[in-house]
Amino acid sequence: MGLVEFRSFEGSLHPCSNAILSANKYIRKMKGGSQSILVRVNDGRHYVVKLTDNPIGPNLLANEHMGSLVAKAVGLPVAEASGIMISDSFIDGHPDLWFELPTGVRRPNKGMHFGSLFVGQTSGADRPTEYISPSRVGAITNREAFLGMYLLDVWANHQDNRQAIFRRNSTNELEVCFIDHGHMFGGPEWNFQGDQGNPGSALHLELAVYTDLWHDEQVAFWISRFQTIIPDVLTSIAAPMASEWYSGDLNELLSELTDRLLHLPELVHADIEKTWHPSQQKSPDESLRLSDFGIHDLRTPDTRSAFRRGRATA
């Protein structure tokens, strides 16, 4: 096949030797509830692929797709998103990739699935890590992105911890790249009702990454950027989305998200208040997973006292 151009999710044209990206080598299953798989694709690159009928929920792929593209559009570092074709023969040839459920093994469906371009090397010493120690936080060159991602996650009513990959460069500095947007947008069920999940749950587990990031003018900058950019982006990415990637009411979701954008300053304020209110403290076990550094230094003038804790307890 000759060199053709195809239209990616972002609407721009990219040269590619194949119009459709399809998996041609199965590497392994990844950890995590969605039972995603690492594959090599016919563009020669590796992707973590989430399958349409995964055990987590019906809107997971739509969330990954929208989360990746919205975050990218506002300038946050996220893994590149693509649709990846998985064929019947690929699925039949690799029973290891089938879903393992309490009720037994289930065969995934063929079709177009969601791929997240693997950040860094898939093996060897340069393999990226999800773990960051408090002592290495200062080495993250683009650490300010954690503030923007937190604010975006509040807008999107993210229901899970914020996950990130850290890649080391030649001078031993780290670069963060955000992954796993499956629980944005009210979670895989698109639930915006009631108490709306867990305030502060969208923070990264290592709170030290937020140290000294909070500046009111930066917060205002991000919110204004979101309000300017997101409305058009949302419409353009949601309209052509594959129907297999969601089962919820997309129009209802978009209208909820548009409303949340208008009220984002209040939502952020409410999230901070609830997150750091003493009644939200979690069990000692959960607290122990967190560092002694961090969010108490992520300060804002009118809620400063709430952050003044000797120990982070999100």
Ligand X SMILES: Nc1ncnc2c1ncn2[C@@H]1O[C@H](COP(=O)(O)OP(=O)(O)O)[C@@H](O)[C@H]1O
Cα–Cα nearest to 148, from 73, 80, 205? 73
What DSSP state is assigned to residue 167? E
Helix, strand, coil percentages in the chain from 3-state DSSP, rounded to 5: 35, 20, 45
Alpha helices of 106-193 — where are they, by DSSP H? 145-155
Q: Which residue is nearest to ligand X (CB)?
A: 32
Cβ 279 to ligand X shortest distance, Å: 28
Q: Could you tell me the smallest distance in angstroms from the CB atom of residue 163 to Mg ion? A: 5
With H, G, I as helix, E, B as strand and everything else as coil, classify residue 45. coil
Residue 237 CA to residue 221 CA, distance in Å, equals 24
| Interaction site with ligand X (CB under 6 A) | 30-34, 36, 48, 79, 116-119, 128, 130, 163, 165, 179-180, 182
CB of 90 to ligand X, least distance (A): 19
**Is residue 180 part of the contact set for Mg ion (CB under 5 A)?**
yes
Question: Looking at the DSSP assignment, which residues form a beta bridge with residue 13?
Answer: 7
Query: Reduced to 3 states, what is the DSSP secondary structure of residue 205?
Result: coil
- Residue closer to ligand X by CB (options 118, 307) is 118
- Please name the amino acid found at residue 269: H
Task: Please name the residues in contact with 146: beta carbons below 8 A apart, sequence gap of 6 or more.
Answer: 162, 164, 176, 204, 209, 210, 213
119 binds, among ligand X, Mg ion, none (CB under 5 to 8 A by kind): ligand X
Minimum CB distance to ligand X, residue 249 (Å): 22
Q: For residues 305 and 293, is the Cβ–Cβ distance under 8 A?
A: no
Q: Which is nearer to ligand X, 91 or 165 (CB)?
A: 165
Selected range binding Mg ion among 56-64, 174-182, 193-201, 244-252, rule: CB under 5 A: 174-182
**Least distance from ligand X to the Cβ atom of residue 108, Å:** 14
Please select the residue that binds Mg ion; options are 8, 18, 22, 32, rule is CB under 5 A. 32
Please report which helix (H) or strand (E) contains residue 244, including its range. Answer: none
Q: Which is nearer to ligand X, 44 or 278 (CB)?
A: 44
Q: Residue 161 or 211: which CB sits closer to Mg ion? A: 161
Instruction: Compare residues 59 and 211 and give the one whose CB is closer to Mg ion.
Output: 59
Give the binding site for Mg ion (CB under 5 A).
Answer: 32, 180
